[in-house]
Amino acid sequence: MPDTTTPTLSLPGGHIPVLGLGTWQSEGSDAELAVSTALQLGYRHVDTATGYGNEAQVGRALTTRGIDRDDVFLTSKLPPDHAGRERQTLAESLVALTTDHLDLWLIHWPPGKEARPDVWQRFREARDEGLTRSIGVSNYSIAQIDELIAATGEAPAVNQIPYSPVDHDPELLAAHRERGIVVEGYSPLKRTDLDAEPIVAAARAHGVTPAQVVLRWHIEHDVVVIPKSVRRERIEENLAVLGFTLTPDEVAAIDTLGR
C-alpha cells in the first residue's frame, strides 16, 4: 500500500517529506529498480544529483505506473564545478528526470570552497521562473550561509550535511533553525556504529533494527533523512521507521554519542 502519510516539514516552496530515498552509488538498472521499488512501497521523496550520474534512471522510475509526479518530492544538485553553467545543468537535470521542475535544487558543495552568492542569485532566479520549487545548499557552513543571506536577503531552504548520532551537534541544529533552514542529514547509516549501546538498547525495546533506530532518531530531531539502499527489504525496512517513535530518554541516550 503506498504510504501517503510521510510527515513533512515546511519549506518556503512546499513541504519536504522527512524520509526519502538516497541514490548516491545507486547505478544503472539498480538505481531505476531501487527508485521504482521505493515509490511502489510508498516513498514520496527521492534525492539525486547531477554528480550521481543516475538522473535518467531516476527519471524512468518516476514514470512507474500509478505514481503521480506531483506527489513526489524530487531533489537534484549542481556540481560545484558547474558554477557559471547553472541553467544548462538544470535544463539537463530536468530532461533526464522527465520533469519540468524540481522540488529542491541544491548547490552540491561550496564551489571552490567559497559561498558564491552569485551562484545563489542564479538559483533564486531559476526558482522565481518556476524551474524548482525550493532552493538550498549542501555541505555549507553557517558562516557561508550567512554570506548568502547578507548578499541576497534570502536563506537557503535546506542545508544537506553529513549527520548521524556521532555528528550530533545541538548548536549546529539550532543555528539552522534560527535561520529558518531545514537540515537534511546524509550518510546516516554509513557514519554510525550500529553496535553502539544506546542504539542497540532502543532497537531491543521497540523490536526494530539498529538501522531503524538511527533513522528514527534523525526524524525525532526534525532532521530530514535520506537513507540509500538498492535492496527491496532494506528500502522497506527504512520506510517502516514511520511506524514507531523513540522516547525522549532514548533520544537523549543516543545524543550522547555526539560531541
Ligand X SMILES: NC(=O)c1ccc[n+]([C@@H]2O[C@H](COP(=O)([O-])OP(=O)(O)OC[C@H]3O[C@@H](n4cnc5c(N)ncnc54)[C@H](OP(=O)(O)O)[C@@H]3O)[C@@H](O)[C@H]2O)c1
Rounded to a whole number of angstroms, the minimum distance from the CB of residue 56 to ligand X is 16
Rounded to a whole number of angstroms, the minimum distance from the CB of residue 189 to ligand X is 3
How far is residue 129's CA from residue 133's CA, in Å, rounded to a whole number?
A: 9
Rounded to a whole number of angstroms, the minimum distance from the CB of residue 191 to ligand X is 7
Q: Is the dihedral of CA 172, 118, 108, 105 positive or negative?
A: positive
Residue 134 burial (C-beta neighbours within 10 Å; 0-12, 13-18, 19+): buried
Task: Return the number of the residue (94 or 106) whose C-beta is nearest ligand X.
Answer: 106
In DSSP terms, which residues pair with 76 in a beta bridge?
A: 105
Task: Return the number of the residue (189 or 253) whose C-beta is nearest ligand X.
Answer: 189
**Cell numbers 539502499 correspond to what residue?**
229
Task: Return the number of the residue (74 or 251) whose C-beta is nearest ligand X.
Answer: 74
Show which residues are catalytic: 52
The residue at minimum Cβ distance from ligand X is 22
Interaction site with ligand X (CB under 6 A): 22-24, 47, 108, 138-139, 160, 186-190, 211, 226-231, 234, 237-238
Task: Return the number of the residue (129 or 231) whose C-beta is nearest ligand X.
Answer: 231
Rounded to a whole number of angstroms, the minimum distance from the CB of residue 186 to ligand X is 3
The 3-state DSSP class for residue 18 equals: coil
* Residue 7 backbone phi and psi in degrees, to 5: -60, 155
How far is residue 6's CA from residue 20's CA, in Å, rounded to a whole number?
A: 9
Cell for 116?
558564491
Cell for 3?
504510504
